[in-house]
Amino acid sequence: MKHVLSAVVVNQPGVLAHVSGMMASRAFNIESLAVGETENPEFSRITFVVSGDEKVLDQVRKQLEKIVTIVRVIDFSGKEFVERDLMLMKVAASGSSRSEVKELVDIFRGSLVDVSPGHVMIEISGPEKKLEAFIDLMRPFDILEMVRTGRIALLRSNEENVDVDERAACEDPTAAC
């Protein structure tokens, strides 16, 4: 079973390496990883997808919470959340196939971001299932290249949204306050 986790971390060099090193040393496979700055530039959010049962998920969460530079870990299991994944895809398309590809891109609410005589580049975002369905439909057109960002997610409600600024109020943002 796939689980989406998010960790709010102190925005400093080496944090991602520390987190991914911990996961690798304990043989937890990261299936998807996305990192970016939050609304507060002192913090970043790492969103990742891991596979395993509840026991594996519990271990991952406990190990993450031990890392000093992690402010908070959010487990999206059983909660209402919005997730997105961004993908760029280069597909062979010329002549009559180009209009067919364009129709499918429109149906999936994607956009053509580059066009050349022999191929088109498509940008599409959405939940993982949407992207997987689009990939399946594009396979007959010959996918030349593809890249995905990894999933990002936020809870729908504010019930777990603890203000990360309370950690910033400390002199040392890596210290427990």
pLDDT digits (tens, 9 = 90+) for 40-68: 999 999 998 998 888 888 888 998 999 99
Residues of 17-32 as b/e, b for ≥16 C-beta within 10 angstroms?
eebbebbeeeebebeb
Residue 54 has φ and ψ, to the nearest 5°, of -60, -35
Show the DSSP H helices in the chain as ranges.
15-25, 54-66, 96-107, 128-138, 165-168
Question: What pTM was estimated for this model as a whole?
Answer: 0.78
Q: Measured between alpha carbons, how far is 104 from 57 in angstroms, rounded to an integer?
A: 37
User: What confidence category does residue 164 fall into, taking pLDDT thresholds of 50, 70 and 90?
Assistant: very low
Domains and their CATH numbers in the chain: 2-79+157-168 (3.30.70.260), 83-152 (3.30.70.1150)
Residue 108: its pLDDT value, please?
A: 98
